[in-house]
Amino acid sequence: MGLDIHNPVFMISALSVIALVTGALLFPDLATELFLGMKEWVTSTFDWFFMVSVNFFIIFSIAIAVSPFGKIRLGGLEARPKYHYSGWLAMLFAAGVGIGLMFFGVYEPITHTLNSAPLGISPLDVETARAVGMSATIFHWGLHAWAIYAVVGLALAFFCFNRKMPLTLRSAFYPLFGKAVWGPFGHLIDVMAVLATIFGLSTSLGFGAEQIAAGLHFLFGIGEGNLTKIVLIVVIMSMALLSVVAGLDKGVKRLSEFNMGMAAVLALYVLTAGPTLYIIEQFWHTTIDYFVYLPSLSGWIGREDTDFYHGWTIFYMAWWISWSPFVGMFIARISFGRTIREFITWVLLMPTVISIFWMSTLGGAGFEQYFEQGVTRLAEVPPELSLYVMLEELPFSGFVSTISVFLIAIFFVTSADSGSLVIDTMTAGGKMNAPVQQRVFWCVATGLVAIALLVGGGMASLQALTIAVGLPFCVVLLVMCASLYKGLAEEPRPA
């Protein structure tokens, strides 16, 4: 079978990726300096722009859901969902957060409580610091992140299923720019989407490789240097290839459901084997505190917590924006037949509730160990080890930690395979059944980018490049909102 590509988008994207990989490997010091310089400039100059934008995405999503537009069904009046709620939720959640929850589930609540000082809260005020620290964690993983995904996913699903346009980013701009989206302007949008997806996905793969390597060293004494991480990326990307070749229903869907099932088992294990009542109480307080501190954490004027604001919040917002073409397109592909109101409600609320439960469970167990049992190591180890240190205090820790390493690897695979399918769709002009060898190419390319950036500058380079790419794409998403509104206004609505 031959190739089925969209020449300008495929070639420019592929050459850009090859150039980046080559440059990072040949000139690692220069690449690190360049990436970190871009990060510093973007975070110090455009921090307000990121916050204004992500706040707008939440307001826009909710307004669309509660308006008469919410009755519009993706695919038309007679369309019905292809996937049941369980499979739909498993795929969108596994694609949207993946490795990050495993990496930061214990580390982030502890760090924000003791070290980061979000909103300028002193760690000496323990109760307030814990409330703000956990709220800041949920802020990064809750409504703001999923509003970004909801905007992109809704736009792509609407223009693909209701207007019969290709499943590419350019289609979402047709109401504003007309036939210009099929020319150079559209090529630019799709290339930006491909590059943003690859760099955002590579950051997650870097986190996964670091945590798996740390787990193997912690459990079995295996070296955790770059060689180990490179071998891990190669092995796991090979597993992702099998899922990619199998396709969406047989590969990605089944693996996502298995992945979410294992994650649920891990969370329930921590809940029952750990301080159960403490975690339940933490879940209740976390939910309330999140909404109490949400307005302050969403602000950008007069922030005293500059280090936290730039180092954590702005990075997260840029990371989610860079992931939005990938996650948005993936959510769009699996959301045929849903009403817009149903789509936005589920995409915004369900992952946020799951994130609150996850962080309250793992982070709550960490809180209890640190504050009640005196396990101070939790605040001293690097982020990739925090999960294993927390599990070490629970029964059957060796077995559960080993299973956790496997779970992280599966999260790694689900991110890689769904990402490769999305990139392939974008570079094939929106075709959802492009030849297998193209999916293989992008799966391999994503792994090579993660390896190159890890070798060229480590996680700092990955995070810096994610922020730099997120800035121009944030502008793209704002224009997309205007185009989506115009398209929805022209759509016949059910009575």
Q: What per-residue confidence (pLDDT) applies to 416?
A: 74
In terms of Cα–Cα distance, which of 446, 136, 183, 426 is closest to 298? Answer: 136
What is the spatial distance between Cα 428 and Cα 437, in angstroms, rounded to a whole number? 12
What are the residue ranges spanned by the domains of the chain?
Answer: 7-489
Q: How distant is the alpha carbon of residue 482 from its chain centre?
A: 24
Distances (CA, A) of 411 to 44, 207, 223, 261, 333: 33, 11, 22, 12, 20
Question: Is the CB of residue 87 less than 8 Å from the CB of residue 338?
Answer: no
pLDDT score, position 495: 58
> CA–CA separation, 223 vs 403, rounded Å?
19
Task: Render pLDDT for 363-411 as a digit per residue (tens, 0 to 9).
Answer: 999 999 999 999 999 988 888 889 999 999 999 989 999 998 888 888 7
The verdict on pTM exceeding 0.75 is yes
Q: Are 447 and 138 in contact (CB under 8 A)?
A: no
Q: How far apart are CA 432 and CA 484, in angstroms?
A: 22
DSSP 8-class letter at 279: H
Distance CA(260)–CA(256), nearest Å, equals: 6
pLDDT at 135: 95
CA 353 to chain centre: 16
**pLDDT per residue as tens digits for the range 261-291:** 888 899 999 999 999 999 999 999 999 999 9
Give me the phi and psi of 73, to 5 degrees please.
-100, 130
- Sequence-ordered list of residues with C-beta below 8 angstroms from that of 82, at least 6 positions apart, any chain: 334, 336, 337
**What is the end-to-end Cα distance of the chain in Å, rounded?**
47
Instruction: Please give the class, per CATH, of domain 7-489.
Output: mainly alpha
Q: Which two tokens stand for residue 473?
A: 């794409």
Six-digit token pair at 152? Answer: 């992109």
**Which residue numbers in the chain have pLDDT < 70?**
1-7, 93-99, 243-253, 256, 431-435, 453, 456-463, 493-495
pLDDT of the residue at 452: 74
Per residue in 143-175, pLDDT tens? 999 999 999 999 999 999 999 998 888 999 999
Q: Cα–Cα distance between 171 and 6 in angstroms, integer? A: 14
